[in-house]
Structure 1
Amino acid sequence: MEQHALGWVLLASTLFGTAATGSRRDLEAIKEVAMDMVLSSFDDQYQGCSRMMEKELEELNRTEFTNPDYAEGWRGAVTEWRNRWGRAARPQALRQEQAMAVLAYTAERGLYKQFNTAVREGGRSREHYLQSFPFKTLHFLLTKALHTLQEAQGHSCHRVYRGIKGTRFTAQLHQTVRFGQFTSASLQKKVAESFGQDTFFFLDTCYSVPIKNFSFYPGEDEVLIPPYEVFKVTNFTRVRDGNFIHLHSQTALSTYNCEFVKGTGRQQGGCPREMAGDRAQPWAGAAVLPA
């Protein structure tokens, strides 16, 4: 039961406390955006401080539930969780709270738009993250979900595709870029094309993971790319109806690490090395959902 403790706390908060491969968004005028390293991104990987972060999440989650889109996203994730796995079950590989975070992010609701924008801007400064970033819980759980799945599935690279409607991204050959947010792509080219072709990405990614079993839309064969993955532009083609960008994974690069626990003063002597089993520790001291 202890292994699912925080998962039930998040469930309780959801019930009683208050994208995807591209997305089928409203039609907008096409805009042009130059790709770069998105240095304003909040790109923390929480290396060495997972358990310290976990101790903070119960209170953080209560605070963040004042955002109605966040609360609605978690409610939808809870409903989908129960439909798929029931109250006592857990999906393979991911812990309950991690799986619900993936479900909440991939749902077609307002949460992912706000979250993506916040992540792209959340690293403008450490103070901005600590004082103004409103999705600390979701960012941590999604990051740890990617780490957990990568460990379970083995480190591998994937050829994936991403279609965009309403924005034409531009890039320079041999430039290094990041998306600077959690970014969905598909293993199926036709699926990605259905989301738009104003910009179409061909990506060789080595830090993403397939999330089909945990996505709100498993038929999309979704792969989730982290904000910190760095790509090299290997080809850029501009045609009449859209831009084609080929990206090849280079490395992972984060400006931030363990910023929240540093900010609360709970971390002593900087980030310790990740201890064996750190990512699989139970959520201590959490109450469970009443029967």
Structure 2
Amino acid sequence: GLLPAMALLARTLALLAMTLAITAIKVVPLDMARDSFDDQYRGCSPAMMAVLPALHNFEFQVNPLFTQTWVKAEAEWRKRGSPVSPLASPAQAVALMAYTTKDIYKDFNAAVRVAGHSRQEYRNNFHFKTLHFLLTKQCHHVFRGVHDVRFQARRGQKVRFGQFTSTSLSKEVAQKYGTDTIFEVQTCHGVDIQAFSFYLSNQEVLIPPYETFKAVLETNDIGVALFLNLVLFFVHSLDHLGFPKLLPLSPHWKVSSVSPGLNVIVHSSGSFTIL
């Protein structure tokens, strides 16, 4: 009769919907993200801080998205009373808020993932140097939920996210962002940015691209929620992006080694040239 036929049709449509939902999930193997720019600025933070204002102004000119997002974030930061503690500077506070606006993180992380490919890529095409430095220790047990992407890793495999990655101290919050892959991560380089996030309820911890983990629970291809446990393994630092050092052009210029991947000539007026 009509009712059994309709019931059969309903079941068929439900199965079809489930099939479409499953096939829509993108499978991404985790690896060491070798092209990621993962500099930790060890031993060169003071030099980087010295050129930060000039570098910041330069990136404002060449990166409109960065400019717009920074202005928006700074306005929100001032609206909240300009909090800084426990961070080192107001610039770091604004940088964290800019990252969490959701206006910039996709473009920023896409750039981070390839900026370490070569010296030229970092020097000429990576116009988020300021933001990268400011976002870059205390351990946290955090979670990250992902929608429509199924990440895979073998037990014992060394992996990195290769980009700045938002996680949450709350599993419940993480699951709101997706359950196709759920990361459970022990991070010792992630920064608790709750006070500086656009979304205070997210209980957000930001993991940097250089932190390396070991997968302790192998993922599989079935099930709705795939749990991938990552524990801190070691820090892999990219240190081969050296640039040629030049002699000072005059008494008004000096060469500053900002990082293993960046040297700049700084003028007394505050202008600079990236080498």
TM-score, with structure 2 as normaliser: 0.77
- Corresponding residue number in structure 2 for 1:171: 153
Query: 2:100: which partner in 1?
Result: 106
Give unpaired runs (5+ residues) of structure 1.
1-27, 144-149, 272-283, 287-291
- In 2, Cα distance between the equivalents of 1:98 and 1:60? 15
What is the alpha-carbon distance in structure 1 between the residues aligned to residue 57 and residue 165 of structure 2?
Answer: 26
Q: 1:29 to 1:94 in 2, by over 3 A?
A: farther
> Partner residue of 2:171?
189
What percent identity do the matched residue pairs reach? 45
Map 1:19-168 onto structure 2 (within 5 A). Answer: 29-65=24-60, 66-86=62-82, 90-109=84-103, 111-143=104-136, 150=137, 155=138, 157-168=139-150
CA distance in 1, matches of 2:244, 2:77: 33
RMSD: 2.3
- Partner amino acid, structure 2, of 1:253: H
Instruction: Write the distance in 2 (CA, Å) between the matches of 1:58 and 1:220.
Output: 31
1:246 has 2:229 as partner: yes
How far apart are the structure 2 equivalents of 1:71 and 1:120? 21
1:56, distance to aligned residue in structure 2 (A): 2.3
Q: Say whether the 8 Å CA contact 1:42–1:256 is kept in structure 2.
A: no
Distance 1:252 1:285 in 2: 37
2:239 matched to 1:256? yes
Which structure would you say has the larger RCO, counting Cα contacts within 8 Å and 6 or more residues apart?
Answer: 1
Q: Is the 8 A contact 2:87 2:93 kept in 1?
A: no
Q: Which amino acid aligns with 2:53?
A: E
**1:57 Cα offset (Å):** 2.2
Quick one: which amino acid aligns to residue 213 of structure 1? A
> What letter matches 1:123 in structure 2?
G
Give, in angstroms, the shift of residue 90 of structure 1.
Answer: 4.0
Judging changes above 3 Å, is the alpha-carbon distance between structure 1 residues 160 and 90 closer, same or farther for their aligned structure 2 residues? closer
Letter in 1 for 2:76: E
Partner of 1:138, secondary structure, is helix
1:207-244 CA distance string (max 9 Å, x none) = 21211111111211111111111100100233332432
5+ long unaligned stretches in structure 2: 1-22, 247-254, 261-267, 271-275
Cα pair distance change 1:250/1:285, threshold 3 Å: farther
Q: Does the C-alpha gap of structure 1 residues 264 and 197 become closer, same or farther in structure 2, counting only changes over 3 Å?
A: farther
**Partner-residue secondary structure (3-state), 1:159:** strand
- The runs of 4+ residues in structure 1 deviating greater than 6 Å are none
- Residues 267 and 90 (structure 1 numbering): CA distance in 2 closer, same or farther, change over 3 Å? closer
In the alignment of these two chains, the number of paired residues is 230
Q: Whose strand fraction is larger, Structure 1's or Structure 2's?
A: 2
1:61 CA displacement? 1.8
Secondary structure at 1:219 match in 2: helix
1:62 offset after TM fit, Å? 2.2
Cα distance change on mapping 1:138 and 1:244 into 2, 3 Å = same
Which amino acid in 2 is paired with 1:175? Q
Contact 2:153–2:219 (Cα < 8 Å) also in 1 = no
